[in-house]
Amino acid sequence: MERPLAAKIRLYVDQPLGPGQSVALTQPQAHYLFAVMRLSEGATVTLFNGREGAFAATVTRADKRKGTLAVGEQTAPLQPPPDLWLMFAPIKKARTDFIVEKAVEMGAARIVPVHTDFTNAERIRHDRLQAHAIEAAEQCGATMVPEVTQIARLGALLDDWPGDRRLMFCDEALAGTAAPLPDTVGAADPWAILIGPEGGFSDSERVRLSQMAGSHPVSLGPRILRADTAAVAALTLWQLRIGDWR
Ligand code: SAH
């Protein structure tokens, strides 16, 4: 198999970046670059920290467990995704991981796991989900990493709902009805998408979510989608109508 160009390797680092800076790699990063990708001194990679865009960097020291990079020129500006939250009720582990990965690729700015009336997930590992978000950002060319928040109860989130944030409420009870997401409505406003658990929303949740100011109850077509499918479908629809695919 042909080895990818080293500069195509993108690494997230949690430290300031700028020409002349030196970056000490963590052990997993050193393992990835030198043992898995077989880079050696002099190879070039791309670094980003979620705040300052992307930079070229050169390997100045390559050991199995340690390494150092020298930061060079900036190669891309910071390109934030639209101000869109993806809220979802966690499901089984692999499907939850999938939702986090796809939310990053599709361009959500924040990923918000919510506990709803019918949520029956195993415990979620917040640190694992954040690590998945970092990996997805490295892979898809993003210059920012969406924050994965701690799981919170839906009711509590709605109690504190920011008045200017619109909600694309994906309601399985609307499947097969005419409840489309309008074109370009509120394109300058902050938004959130809400996807329910396998058990769907309770009646009281549905009433509250439908009556909220700024709520847009939406159908995702005539079939009932699994939550992970619904998340990708909703993100696609939102990006196409309102977000940065236009
Ligand atoms: N158990 C429920 C389905 C839940 S599907 C039932 O049988 O009715 C999981 C989530 O995906 C839903 O809560 C909703 O947010 C979203 N979803 C799935 N299909 C949808 C559709 N056709 N329209 C709108 N939302 C949908």
Query: In this predicted model, what pLDDT tens digit does every residue of 8-46 receive, in sequence order?
Result: 899 999 999 999 999 999 999 999 999 999 999 999 999
Looking at the fold, whether 130 and 159 belong to one and the same domain comes out as yes
Domain presence at residue 237: yes
C-alpha 49 – ligand 1 centre gap (Å):
36
Q: What is the pLDDT of residue 36?
A: 94
The answer on pLDDT for 2 being more than 90 is no
The answer on pLDDT for 198 being more than 70 is yes
**Residue 191 or 246, more confident:** 191
Domain presence at residue 5: no
In DSSP terms, 216 is beta-bridged to 168
Looking at the fold, whether 152 and 37 belong to one and the same domain comes out as no
Looking at the fold, whether 137 and 236 belong to one and the same domain comes out as yes
Q: Choose which residue among 112, 117, 169, 170 to substitute to test ligand 1 binding: the one with the highest number of ligand atoms within 8 A of its C-beta.
A: 170
Looking at the fold, whether 69 and 191 belong to one and the same domain comes out as no
C-alpha 220 – ligand 1 centre gap (Å):
8
Q: What is the pLDDT of residue 7?
A: 66
Looking at the fold, whether 154 and 231 belong to one and the same domain comes out as yes
| Ligand 1 lining (C-beta closer than 6 Å) | 170-172, 174-175, 195-196, 198-201, 219-221, 223-225, 227, 230
Looking at the fold, whether 189 and 104 belong to one and the same domain comes out as yes
End position of a domain, from candidates 25, 48, 76: 76
- CATH code where residue 151 lies: 3.40.1280.10
pLDDT-derived band at 5, boundaries 50, 70, 90: low
Q: Which residues form the domain of 163?
A: 84-241
Residue with CA closest to ligand 1 atom 3? 200
Domain presence at residue 165: yes
C-alpha 120 – ligand 1 centre gap (Å):
15
Q: What is the pLDDT of residue 64?
A: 85
Angle at 150 between CA 134 and CA 83, to 5 degrees: 60
Q: How many helices (H) and strands (E) does the chain have?
A: 6, 12
Looking at the fold, whether 91 and 171 belong to one and the same domain comes out as yes
The answer on pLDDT for 3 being more than 90 is no
The answer on pLDDT for 6 being more than 60 is no
End position of a domain, from candidates 50, 76, 102: 76
Q: Choose which residue among 194, 225, 237 to substitute to test ligand 1 binding: the one with the highest number of ligand atoms within 8 A of its C-beta.
A: 225
Domain presence at residue 201: yes
Q: What is the pLDDT of residue 1?
A: 45
Cβ pair 29, 74 in contact under 8 A: no
Q: What is the pLDDT of residue 122?
A: 66
Structure confidence by residue, pLDDT tens digits, 121-176: 767 899 999 999 999 999 999 999 999 999 999 999 999 999 999 999 999 999 99
Angle at 34 between CA 32 and CA 38, to 5 degrees: 105
Q: What is the pLDDT of residue 123?
A: 79
Domain presence at residue 246: no
Residue with CA closest to ligand 1 atom 2? 200
Overall domain count for the chain: 2
- Which SS3 state, helix, strand or coil, does residue 235 take? helix
Domain presence at residue 3: no
The answer on pLDDT for 97 being more than 60 is yes
Task: Of 83, 79, 50, give the one whose Cα is nearest residue 162.
Answer: 83
| Cβ atoms < 10 Å from Cβ of 145 | 20
Q: Choose which residue among 224, 226, 238 to substitute to test ligand 1 binding: the one with the highest number of ligand atoms within 8 A of its C-beta.
A: 224
Structure confidence by residue, pLDDT tens digits, 217-228: 999 999 999 999
- Which SS3 state, helix, strand or coil, does residue 9 take? coil
- CATH code where residue 45 lies: 2.40.240.20
Give how far Cα 218 sits from Cα of 65, 152, 160, 232, 233, Å: 50, 23, 22, 14, 12
End position of a domain, from candidates 58, 76, 94: 76
Over residues 195-213, the mean pLDDT reads 97
Name the percent of the chain lying above pLDDT 70: 97
